[in-house]
């Protein structure tokens, strides 16, 4: 697909810091119990980077993402997005969850347009933007259908289009493909990679899949078992080509991630 300049993000400079976490720790308190989910997280993510966060179940990946999204405050430390401390959710961050969470009473088009209507976009501009996005995620011909008429993979594509609609600088994804069958998952991974390459968005992708992290991260962070701390932080030299999965770099990176996940 040719580049879509209209959808390109415009970071202030190529090295602008999009997300900065300093000394971040999060402890849950429930029923008199304290659960330390994450500790000592220091990360600076440049605009346009695609950070894959991988680690065992319960190591604090979703906690980390929810703090960047602004749904949850860190117990200690600070998170800045675009230089500003995070105090809550904002239009600069689009979020995609494991389940698509589409509005069942709206068409696909209506779901993608929802945030734009809320943000006061004029009807004609909204319509144009929605059609662009549906094309981008490969749903150009099903905009009129309701979510229940779509397959799981199509619903997740619609959720990605909805998150991209207000043109957030940062896209946060929490196990977005975990509920899908292997083939659909592989296809959507390739598509997300294509979207990242074409739009230049900053991505934070949480996954427990080593392959997904190796394929989609321009940088990969591995967290230890709970409390999650960073045990590997590596920039990826994966060539920006189609079929990246078949390159030797992919295999080598995959092995290093796997070793870090296993604590080797």
Ligand X SMILES: Nc1ncnc2c1ncn2[C@@H]1O[C@H](COP(=O)(O)OP(=O)(O)OP(=O)(O)O)[C@@H](O)[C@H]1O
| Residue of 57, 87, 124, 243 interacting with ligand X (CB under 6 A) | 57
- Give the sign of the dihedral formed by CA 255, CA 190, CA 10, CA 67: negative
Site for ligand X in 192-211 (CB under 6 A): 208
Separation CA 45–CA 50 (nearest Å): 8
87 binds ligand X (CB under 6 A): no
DSSP 163-217: HHTT--SEEEEESTTTTS-HHHHHHHHHHHHHHHHHH--EEEEEES-HHHHHHH-
* Residue for token pair 């979703």: 62
Binding mask 3-42 for Mg ion (x = CB under 5 A): ----------------------------------------
Cβ proximity to ligand X: between 17 and 63 the closer is 63
Site for ligand X in 212-241 (CB under 6 A): 226
Q: Are 52 and 216 in contact (CB under 8 A)?
A: yes
Cβ proximity to ligand X: between 75 and 132 the closer is 75
DSSP 134-176: HHHTT-TT-TTS-GGGS-HHHHHHHHHHHHHTT--SEEEEEST
62 binds Mg ion (CB under 5 A): yes
Least distance CB 95 / Mg ion (angstroms): 13
Contact range with Mg ion by CB under 5 A, out of 5-13, 61-69, 217-225, 250-258: 61-69
| Residue of 30, 87, 124, 243 interacting with ligand X (CB under 6 A) | 30
Q: Using CB under 5 A as the criterion, which residues of the chain lie in contact with Mg ion when the complex forms?
A: 62
Catalog residues that contact ligand X under the rule CB under 6 A: 28, 30, 35, 37, 55, 57-63, 208, 226
């Amino acid at each position: 697909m040719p580049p879509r300049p209209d959808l390109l993000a415009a970071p202030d400079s190529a090295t602008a810091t999009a997300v900065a976490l300093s000394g971040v720790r999060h402890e849950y308190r429930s029923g008199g119990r304290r659960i330390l989910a994450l500790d000592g997280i220091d990360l600076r993510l440049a605009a346009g980077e695609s950070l894959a966060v991988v680690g065992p179940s319960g190591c604090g990946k979703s906690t980390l993402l929810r703090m960047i999204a602004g749904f949850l405050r860190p117990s200690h430390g600070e998170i800045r997005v675009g230089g500003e401390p995070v105090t809550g959710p904002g239009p600069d961050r689009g979020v995609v969850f494991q389940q698509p969470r589409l509005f069942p009473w709206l068409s696909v088009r209506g779901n993608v347009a929802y945030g734009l209507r809320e943000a006061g976009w004029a009807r004609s501009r909204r319509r144009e933007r929605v059609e662009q996005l549906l094309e981008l995620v490969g749903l150009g011909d099903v905009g009129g259908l309701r979510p229940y008429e779509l397959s799981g993979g199509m619903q997740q594509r619609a959720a990605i289009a909805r998150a991209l609609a207000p043109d957030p600088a940062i896209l946060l994804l929490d196990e977005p493909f975990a509920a899908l069958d292997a083939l659909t998952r592989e296809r959507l991974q390739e598509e997300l990679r294509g979207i990242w390459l074409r739009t230049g968005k900053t991505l934070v992708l949480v996954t427990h899949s080593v392959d997904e992290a190796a394929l989609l991260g321009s940088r990969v962070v591995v967290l230890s078992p709970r409390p999650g701390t960073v045990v590997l932080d590596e920039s990826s030299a994966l060539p920006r080509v189609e079929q990246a999965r078949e390159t030797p770099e992919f295999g080598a990176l995959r092995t290093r991630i796997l070793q870090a996940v296993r604590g080797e």
